[in-house]
Structure 1
Amino acid sequence: MDLGIRGRVAVVAASTSGLGRAVAEALAAEGARVVVAGRRGDLAEEIAAGLPDAVGVQADLTAPDGPRTLVEAARAAYGDPGILVLNGPGPRPGTAAGLETGDLGAAMNSLLLAQQRLVALTLPAMRRDGWGRVLAIGSSGIAEPLPGLVLSNAGRAALAAYLKTLAAEVAADGVTVNLLLPGRIATDRVAALDAARAEREQRPVAEIEAASQAAIPAARYGTPAEFGAAAAFLCGAPASYITGTALRCDGGLVRGL
């Protein structure tokens, strides 16, 4: 299937590792001109050098000027972005009962405010051009809050509410707004969460992984490439009538529809 995004400018936030990197690679494979972003500029440049048509940009999206730095670098390299992939590092694990206000504020800054700034900087050009894709890398915690991850649950749910509202406002302008929700994908983040749980419960990591996989109908963790492929589709021309949707890429982990 031709996704119709060859030559489109795609900004992928937090794309030097994990799911963000997988999405950047998938978009690049479809011919998009990709802007790889991360706090480590050298790593962003190294990853970009391995893609067909990409640039690496150093950007801390939680800093006040971080989103603008990223978007201006994208414009300088390629022009106005037509694809924006929202992403950010997952907050530390924690319980709702033990939540501290400062931690919640930091999570909201990373998972909601920084993402909204990116949208505000790129959306006008998308609406002007009559074509755009905004896709957020979310979490299955949006559909079913995950135990011990209250900061992620709260921040990503707030982003989902904002994007759902936005989707209805810009659909007639040819701009789609969606979320892609990973379940247990084999990334460093999931490995770190498994290791933390193993330490808390004083159990081997292999035992934790086996129990997690047993709870997934597909009986395995997903691969970053599988997630990237789903993201690329949602950013493509064939997905032009899909908007305001949260699609799960989780092997059936969440049992609700």
Structure 2
Amino acid sequence: MDLELQDKVALVFGAGGGLGSAIADVLATEGAKIGLADINKEALDAATERVGPQTDTAAVQWDLSDLDSIPDNIAAVEDKLGPIDIVVNMTGGPPPTPISGQSRSAWSEHFEAMVLSVIGIVDAVVPGMRERGWGRIITSTSSGVVAPIPNLGLSNALRSTLVGWNKTLAREVGPYGITSNIIIPGRIATARITQLDRAKATREGRSVEDVAAESVASIPVGRYGRPSEYADLVAFLASQRASYITGSMIRVDGGLIASV
């Protein structure tokens, strides 16, 4: 199946991590030019070295909490690759916490990095997408926006903000050939999942292996997901083939989330 992504310009956040790296790989394989963004310079360099031989790339060390850097960072990608057609939003998650008793500064810090950054980046590229009559906005959130996850209070609340934003945005930009969708990962085998398993093991005085086995037992397909399986959905939503899918939340969870 030709996804018609040849020479499209995709900006992928978290490109040095498990999900972002897999997304950059599959989009590059489909012929897109890739803007790689990550706060971790070492991981970003590794992603650039891997993706670079496949397609044109532009790498930007990007701290999502620095909202003032958005215009310059967007310009750095577009000056090298051309106007951005596809944005894949992926932010780091806050540390595990209950939702009550968190400081105002904690709420503000993570709101800026996880919500305002996404909104600011999309606001920066949508005008160009409108002019060209084509664009794809894909935002990765968490299963906590459907079924809140215990001890991930900040994440549950802040990521849920993006659900309302996405649905509203999709209605506004749909007439211009732009789609906007949210993808909800279940338990995908990444460093973030390992971190959460370790935190739970420490909190409950259990082994990481025991916590992971219990988690896997709750997933109907009986395993954690592979980053490549998540990335394949991103590639489809980024494609011309998905032009009638917008304002949606799509789960990649192996059947984990119990709600309809």
TM-score over 0.5 for the pair: yes
SS in 1 for 2:251: strand
What is the deviation of 1:42? 4.7
Matches within 5 A, 1:1-257: 1-51=1-51, 52-53=54-55, 54-257=57-260
CA–CA distance in 1 between the matches of 2:255 and 2:70?
34
CA–CA distance in 2 between the matches of 1:185 and 1:43?
19
What is the deviation of 1:67? 2.1
CA offset digits 1:44-81 (Å, max 9, x no partner): 23312221112211111211323223211111111110
Unpaired runs of at least 5, structure 2: none
Structure 1 runs of 4+ with >6 Å offset: none
Q: Which moved more, 1:101-110 or 1:209-218?
A: 101-110
Q: Which moved more, 1:172-181 or 1:31-40?
A: 31-40
CA offset digits 1:18-63 (Å, max 9, x no partner): 2122211111111110011112345323312221112211111211
- CA RMSD between the two structures: 1.1
TM-score by length of 2: 0.96
CA–CA distance in 2 between the matches of 1:256 and 1:3?
31
CA–CA distance in 2 between the matches of 1:110 and 1:186?
23
SS in 1 for 2:37: strand
What is the deviation of 1:15? 1.4
Q: Conserved in 1, the CA contact under 8 Å of 2:141 and 2:185? A: yes
Unpaired runs of at least 5, structure 1: none
SS in 2 for 1:35: strand
CA–CA distance in 2 between the matches of 1:69 and 1:58?
12
Identity %: 39
Q: State the one-letter code of the partner of 2:37.
A: A
Q: State the one-letter code of the partner of 1:11.
A: L
Q: State the one-letter code of the partner of 1:50.
A: R
TM-score by length of 1: 0.97
